[in-house]
Amino acid sequence: MESKYSEYTREQLLKRIAELESQSAAKRNDTDNTEELKHKKPKKQGKNRPFDMTKYTKRKIALRVAYIGWNYIGFASQQDPERIPTIEDMLFKALKECKLVAEIDDSIDYTRCGRTDRGVSGLGQVIALWVRSKKLTSDPSPDLLPAEQEFPYVDTLNRMLPPDIRVLAWAPVPEDFSARYHCTSRTYKYFFSRGKMDIEKMRQGCKYFEGEHDFRNFCKMDPAKNIQSYDRHILSMTVRPVDHTQTAHIGDGTDFYEVELKGTAFLWHQVRYMMSVLFLVGQGLEPPETIRDVLDIEKVPSKPDFPMASDLPLVLYDCEFKDIEWFYSFKASTYDPFPSSLRIYLHYNELWNVQMIRSLTYQYYLTKVGSFPAVMPDKSAKTILDLVKERESDWSDGAALIPLGAGKETRVNKYKPVLLRPRCDSDQLKKEKYEVRKKRKLDAQEETQS
């Protein structure tokens, strides 16, 4: 029988021989690899052992926390971090990821100094809880570890926290320490641009807030909490220019001021309601004595209808405690070329640069639009900046501008004084209505179950 290769040329035969040799060598390699795999011991799969918290002792510590609250629904957790993100949710997540706590439950005895509202920031917030110590349970010594031998709590947590939340310091505290009840004072700052507000009148109004008063007309009531006393003590309240801002070239009234108020404790939304009426005083719509009158519960037994000021400019600036030693760096008493506080400073310096660039961009937009022309009733021309400089607190048609903070204003055609406005329900009436609603709900549940 004639071979299929009989018509191949010499070159074609050599090429075919090379192909067959290559295929034969590949088959031999596959066979060798198979035999090698048969005799090769399989690698042991690594097992992720669960972290054993019982090997470590625990200690009670306080953490000083700073946060920019603009992207969060307040400080306190609402138990729904995906839908309602809070600063506390981020802290709890970091504490668990760092294996400093096993679970967020009653065993950690968690307390916070205060609950800031949605959008409010904090520089001096303090929390306290039991966390894992570096000291092993096998260590026979009864003493706690010195701060420099402990975990670097500040650095460890900051690596896990989002950029707008930072732990500034930690402190060893007694076992019975409460961040809420052991706090001696809380200080807030509220920033605002002056506009046409009379700063001296605002300072007069602040004096009426100082001292111990019933602040039920300057807060949001929650009958479910059944608050028995609305008395709060304002230790000091001042109005002063903000340092390091130069905005006079942008327009009249663009210079910034801050209200700093220090008190032993505060009610829900108290500071923002106080600022709302203080703005009315500064705008000349209310005399400073209105604050005195609204604080008089016999004269004004329930809150008049006025809005809250904006949350954006409010910062929980400081919380004070007695006999607490804060540690701001891991090596507090020895030289450290790159301490924790320097890392935090550089972090905020980067964030500050970003915000300053945004601020400068807006400033140029303001000055550019401020140079645009506007035709007046007598056909003369002025710039928009000229109009802004001439604008008074009320318009020529009798309308009034009411500042709400953060550059926001509301315009009303006819201003009604605070003392003449409709009143909210009294505290007692709100509690009675709440009990009726609660009883109705319980009755409905019982009917459903039966």
pLDDT for 246 equals: 75
Model confidence, pTM: 0.84
pLDDT for 252 equals: 73
pLDDT for 4 equals: 62
Residues annotated as catalytic (active site), given as ranges: 117
**What's the per-residue H, E or C state across the chain?**
CCCCCCCCCHHHHHHHHHHHHHHHHHHHHHHHHHHHHHHCCCCCCCCCCCCCHHHEEEEEEEEEEEECHHHCCCCCCCCCCCCCCCHHHHHHHHHHHCCCCCCCCHHHCCEECCCCCCCCEEEEEEEEEEEEEEEECCCCCCCCCCHHHCCCHHHHHHCCCCCCEEEEEEEECCCCCCCCCCEEEEEEEEEEECCCCCHHHHHHHHHHHCEEEECHHHCCCCHHHCCCCCEEEEEEEEEEECCCCCCCCCCCCCCEEEEEEEECCCCCCHHHHHHHHHHHHHCCCCCCHHHHHHHCCCCCCCCECCCCCCCCCEEEEEEEECCCCCECCCCCCCCCCCCHHHHHHHHHHHHHHHHHHHHHHHHHHHHHHHCCEEECCCCCEEEHHHHHHHCCCECCCCCEEEEEECCEEEEECCCCCHHHCCECCCHHHHHHHHHHHHHHHHHHHHHHHC
pLDDT for 317 equals: 97
pLDDT for 238 equals: 98
Domains recognised in the chain with CATH numbers: 56-181 (3.30.70.580), 185-316+374-445 (3.30.70.660)
pLDDT for 244 equals: 77
Average pLDDT per 10 consecutive residues for the chain, totaling 450 residues: 61 69 64 58 62 93 98 95 96 97 96 95 97 95 92 96 97 97 97 94 98 97 90 98 79 88 96 98 97 97 95 97 90 75 94 94 91 89 83 59 91 92 92 90 82
pLDDT for 443 equals: 82
